[in-house]
Amino acid sequence: MYRLRFSAERGVTWVDEEHDVVWLCAVHRRQEGSDDDAYTWFAKLHADGKLLPAGDDRLRDRAEAVIRLQRGLTAGMLLLVDDALSHKGAELSADLGGHLPCRVLVLGNGRIEEIWCALSARAADGTHVRDELRDILFAALEARFPDAVFETRSDWPGGRTGWWEAVRLGLR
């Protein structure tokens, strides 16, 4: 446990090395000489078994980790699409977040622009990628281009798709 000093605020942290998390367990205003002293309050929480993280805290940490992962994958995919828009006709690929293989191709003839995106069902380490994760990423792609009409495809311009790829084509 460590004590933190924030002006009149005091805090207690715990380094959970097993889960690679630093928990802020409690924060309280400290008034020296008061019966409501922060350190007294921390000691009471500890004695009551209420100071350290509980199951709900760990569940929240896992939920927040999922949100961070989804946001990172989405940002990586949209960056790849933006790069493909700048390099029309060139197929670009990346492992989003070092985890999810993705490829993008943008084609255009001056009037219609085709935005092709393929997401793998196999992660870079060979494990399965849930369909729901890919659906969330494809929804973000569609939101990025609200003027486009998207459809699911089983082909890829100038090449094949693997059975493990989900493909979307957007026309705008």
130-162 per-position pLDDT tens digit: 999 999 999 999 999 999 999 999 999 988 888
Q: Where are the alpha helices (DSSP H) in 24-130?
A: 38-47, 55-86
| 97 and 132 fall within a common domain | yes
Number of separate domains in the chain: 2
Q: Please report whether residue 64 resides in a domain.
A: no
148 and 82 part of one domain: yes
Task: Give the pLDDT score at 46.
Answer: 84
Nearest to 170 by CA among 114, 118, 121: 114
Domain of residue 115, residue span: 70-171
Q: Would residue 62 count as lying in a domain? A: no
Pairwise CA distance, residues 119 & 113, whole Å: 20
34 and 75 share a domain? no
Same domain, residue pair 10 and 92: no
- CA gap 109, 164 in Å, rounded: 29
Residues 81 and 33 in one domain: no
Q: Does the global pTM surpass 0.85?
A: no
